Amino acid sequence: MTFDTVALCRAEPDPAAMLGALLAAGAELKMDTVKAAGLVQLFDPVDGRLLLSVEAARLVRVPGEARRLLDLADADDVPEPVWWVESRAPGADPQAADVARRFTAALVEITGGLTWTGR
C-alpha cells in the first residue's frame, strides 16, 4: 500500500518550483529520475530506501474533474484549470509519509492551490 498525496497547483510548477519543493522535502535526500516513467524519486541517504516518487505535472482542464477524481464535491477552492502533481510514498514508512507531506506542502506554497492526502 502507498501513501498518496496530490498537489493541486494554481500556477504551473516549473522546474524551479519542483526543485524547491523537492529540496524542502529533504535537502539531504538523494534524488534520481526515471525518465521513461517521468518520475523523480527521493531516497534515504543512509540506507538507500525509496521514500518518494513524484510524477510529472499534468494540466487538468475539464471543470470539476479534479474535484470528481478526489471526491471533493463540496470543495469550492479547487483551482480550475489545475496543475495536478501526484506523489507516492511507501505506506509502511512514517519517514516516507513525512517526506511526501513536506514536498506537497512546499509545492503548493510556491504555486498556490491546495493539497489532497489519500489518508
Residues of the chain by 3-state class (helix, strand, coil), percent to 5: 30, 35, 35
Q: Name residue 44's amino acid.
A: D
User: What pLDDT does 18 receive?
Assistant: 95
pLDDT band at 119 (very low <50, low <70, confident <90, very high): low
Q: What is the tens place of the pLDDT at every residue in 86-107? A: 999 998 899 999 999 999 999 9
Please give the pLDDT value at position 44.
96
User: Quick one: pLDDT at residue 102?
Assistant: 97
User: What torsion do the CA atoms of 93, 94, 99, 105 make, to the nearest 10 degrees?
Assistant: 130
The total of other beta-carbon atoms located within 10 Å of residue 106's CB is: 19
Q: What is the pLDDT of residues 22-72, one digit of tens each?
A: 999 999 999 999 988 889 999 999 999 999 999 999 999 998 899 889 888
Give me 87's grid cell: 506523489
